[in-house]
């Protein structure tokens, strides 16, 4: 037995919840050792804690706007600082750790998040809010590519399922964050944000345990997955795929940014809801996003990534176009439909990109999550300025056309080809 095989056997013995090798053997090497639910689940739980913390920031925008007399444009700049900090660093973190693995970056990144939460709780000026947003962004930049890599290691070849499980943890955290903010922060003020430092401390503990598993068994898992990998795309096809993915990511995350950052303002202005009432509707939307994300990966493993992307964008277009023209009840119904359908695309897009450029999991994950945060941040800032000029209801009418950009999916090359000899 080789060193890698022996290490892998010990990993499977240490994780009894994973399927036994004999029960999962197939001709494809990635499936030999099975889907390690304890590891994927731990990564998803850490993602829940991470994104729960990050959801606090947009959830307190109405409070910050009132406390500091901010404009929509200044709110957009806070979002932009956070998103750009995260997006610019993520691909570089992934690229570096593809060549020089640094498992301890996972808990260390969460330490940065903990510090950022403390700064946010005790900030006394707009400038300090910007610094706090940037520090939280650094923690996010470190977490996402490395945790996504761990989920792929433990996937047993079910890449879409693992990515969906990982992503749904983050979406669940994003959904719970506004509720906890409404219960803890809104009634007690900005300093109550410090309670979320306990959430960061729990995440540090979980990520330290994941790091221990990665140090012991990660390389054997990487080698196993590499032996059964499909071939990537040629250079020209990669360029075409990158352009199409950028268009799709722009459409998806600018539209999602209109909900995560401004849905509460839209509900308050159009229907006269209170801040706490609007947070409940935001939770309903984000919970739908979490459910849709979970479905997208397993379905993509069965029918292909492109099919999921097609359904995700064009299926949501009728709901998006109708949303600005209906009453409160139908707004809630359509928001649920939009969250369910459109969110299914992200896991498919991530795995598609990883298959297009095999061997660069960290870099690809960093680019994809970086694009998500960067586009979301730029979109939030741009939508904030448009809302100052034209009003928030006008903004929702404009963004309702974005899902139609999903027609660009027709130009995505096929990645489901066997590796060339």
Task: Please state the rounded mean pLDDT for residues 381-389.
Answer: 88
The yes-or-no verdict on residue 165 having pLDDT over 80 is yes
CB within 8 A of 189, min separation 6: which ones?
none
How far is 286 from 301, CA to CA, in rounded Å? 24
Q: What is the pLDDT of residues 351-371, one digit of tens each?
A: 777 777 766 666 676 677 667
pLDDT at 25: 33
The yes-or-no verdict on residue 412 having pLDDT over 80 is yes
What are the φ/ψ torsions at residue 272 (nearest 5 degrees)?
Answer: 70, 30
Query: Is the model more confident about 397 or about 223?
Result: 397
CA distances from 296 to 143, 145, 254 (A): 22, 20, 20
pLDDT at 3: 43
Task: Please state the rounded mean pLDDT for residues 407-421.
Answer: 68
Please give the domain boundaries of the chain with CATH numbers for all domains: 36-411 (1.20.1250.20)
The yes-or-no verdict on residue 151 having pLDDT over 50 is yes
Please give the structure tokens belonging to residue 333. Answer: 């119904």
How far is 129 from 149, CA to CA, in rounded Å? 31
């Amino acid at each position: 037995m080789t060193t890698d095989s022996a290490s892998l056997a010990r990993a499977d013995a240490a994780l009894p919840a994973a399927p036994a090798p004999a029960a999962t053997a197939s001709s494809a090497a990635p499936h030999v050792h099975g889907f390690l639910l304890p590891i994927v689940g731990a990564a998803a739980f850490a993602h829940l804690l991470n994104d729960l913390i990050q959801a606090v920031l947009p959830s307190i925008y109405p409070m910050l706007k009132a406390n500091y007399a901010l404009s929509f444009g200044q709110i957009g700049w806070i979002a932009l600082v956070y998103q750009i900090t995260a997006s610019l660093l993520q691909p570089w973190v992934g690229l570096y750790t593809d060549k020089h693995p640094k498992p301890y970056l996972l808990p260390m990144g969460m330490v940065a998040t903990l510090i950022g939460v403390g700064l946010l709780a005790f900030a006394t000026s707009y400038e300090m809010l910007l610094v706090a947003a940037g520090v939280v962004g650094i923690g996010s930049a470190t977490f996402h590519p490395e945790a996504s890599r761990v989920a792929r290691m433990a996937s047993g070849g079910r890449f879409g399922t693992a990515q969906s499980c990982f992503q749904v943890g983050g979406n669940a955290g994003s959904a719970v964050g506004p509720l906890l903010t409404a219960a803890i922060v809104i009634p007690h003020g900005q300093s109550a944000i410090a309670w979320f430092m306990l959430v960061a401390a729990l995440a540090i503990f979980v990520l330290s345990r994941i790091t221990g598993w990665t140090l012991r068994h990660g390389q054997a898992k990487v080698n196993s997955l590499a032996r059964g990998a499909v071939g990537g795309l040629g250079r020209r096809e990669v360029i075409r795929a990158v352009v199409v993915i950028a268009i799709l990511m722009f459409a998806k995350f600018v539209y999602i940014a209109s909900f995560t950052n401004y849905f509460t303002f839209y509900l308050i202005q159009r229907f006269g809801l209170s801040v706490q009432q609007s947070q409940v509707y935001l939770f309903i939307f984000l919970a739908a996003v979490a459910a849709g994300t979970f479905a997208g990966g397993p379905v993509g493993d069965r029918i292909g990534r492109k099919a999921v992307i097609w359904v995700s964008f064009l299926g949501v277009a009728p709901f998006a176009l109708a949303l600005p023209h209906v009453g409160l009840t139908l707004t809630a119904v359509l928001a649920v439909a939009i969250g369910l359908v459109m969110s299914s695309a992200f896991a498919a897009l991530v795995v598609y990109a990883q298959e297009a450029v095999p061997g660069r999991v960290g870099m690809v994950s960093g680019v994809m999550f970086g694009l998500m945060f960067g586009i979301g941040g730029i979109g939030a800032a741009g939508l904030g300025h448009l809302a100052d000029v034209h009003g928030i209801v006008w903004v929702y009418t404009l963004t309702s056309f974005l899902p139609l950009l999903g027609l660009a999916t027709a130009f995505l090359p096929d990645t489901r080809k066997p590796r060339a000899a």
